Amino acid sequence: MASSTSAGMTRRGLIGVFAATMVVAAPTYSNAFGLLRGAGDVRRIRMYSGRTGESIDTIYWIEGEYIPQVMKELNHFMRDWRTDTQVKMDGRTIDIAAASHRLLDVNEPYMLLSGYRSPQTNAMLREHSRGVARNSLHMKGQAADLRLSSRSVGQISRAALACSAGGVGKYPRSNFVHMDCGPVRTWGG
């Protein structure tokens, strides 16, 4: 469930309690196809940011619907920390990350290296790295760069590729995997 500072029971809190019980009762899917396309499922994402010190562990989808308040929290969490700006993140990117995480069968949260990137941040990164695209999907809220200490870049990228739902870039030297909801494609070493 998403972290919260209020102590009272809110509508979101009740939804969270309901969702937590649904996680226990949710069916286990053998591959990401069922998770991404299945109706009646519950979807959860767990991440932390080494840059901001924030973490999020939340159910963002129940019974075929994104939970609007949780998606707003994800937009904030995945913001460009350099400029403190955010956009509406594409739920399909969250789906790919969540499905990949589920396939990897880990409890460890992802480390988010980059979610949304402002055009200014993207331009600055392009000046320092060949691997940053001019029209990066990060600037549209459609990409995330993620890492797990308990899994290799190869393992994470294979899980993301199994989703057949977007782009997967492998960056073994920097120890992260890029996932996006653009065209299905792969790159990197």
pLDDT in tens, 134-167: 889 999 999 999 999 999 999 999 999 999 999 9
Q: What is the pLDDT of residue 126?
A: 86
pLDDT digits (tens, 9 = 90+) for 76-119: 999 999 999 999 999 999 999 999 999 999 999 999 999 999 99
Q: Does any domain span residue 74?
A: yes
Tokens of 174: 């920097």
**d(C-alpha 13, C-alpha 15), whole Å:** 5
Q: What is the pLDDT of residue 132?
A: 84
Q: Does any domain span residue 2?
A: no
User: Cβ-count burial of 134 within 10 angstroms (0-12 exposed, 13-18 middle, 19+ buried)?
Assistant: exposed
**d(C-alpha 175, C-alpha 111), whole Å:** 11
The percentage of the chain sitting over the pLDDT mark of 90, rounded to a whole number, equals: 70
Residue carrying the six token digits 């809190």: 13
Q: What is the pLDDT of residue 15?
A: 52
Question: What's this model's pTM, rounded to 2 decimal places?
Answer: 0.79
Q: Does any domain span residue 3?
A: no
Taking the CA atoms of residue 81, residue 73, residue 56 and residue 147 in that order, the dihedral angle to the nearest 10 degrees is -50
- Please check the confidence at residue 189 and state whether its pLDDT lies above 60: yes
For range 114-131, the mean pLDDT = 91
Q: Does any domain span residue 1?
A: no
Range of the domain at 41: 11-188
Q: What is the mean pLDDT of the chain?
A: 84
Would you give the end-to-end CA distance of the chain in angstroms?
A: 35
Q: DSSP states of 4-52 as a string?
A: ----S--HHHHHHHHHHHHHHHSPPPSSHHHHHH-TT-EEEEEEE-TTT
Residue 59 to residues 119, 163, 186, Cα–Cα distance (Å): 30, 19, 28
Q: Does any domain span residue 5?
A: no
**d(C-alpha 41, C-alpha 61), whole Å:** 8
Q: Which CATH number belongs to the domain containing residue 127 in this structure?
A: 3.30.1380.10
User: Please, which pLDDT band fits residue 130 given cuts at 50, 70 and 90?
Assistant: confident
Report how many domains make up the chain.
Answer: 1
Q: Does any domain span residue 92?
A: yes
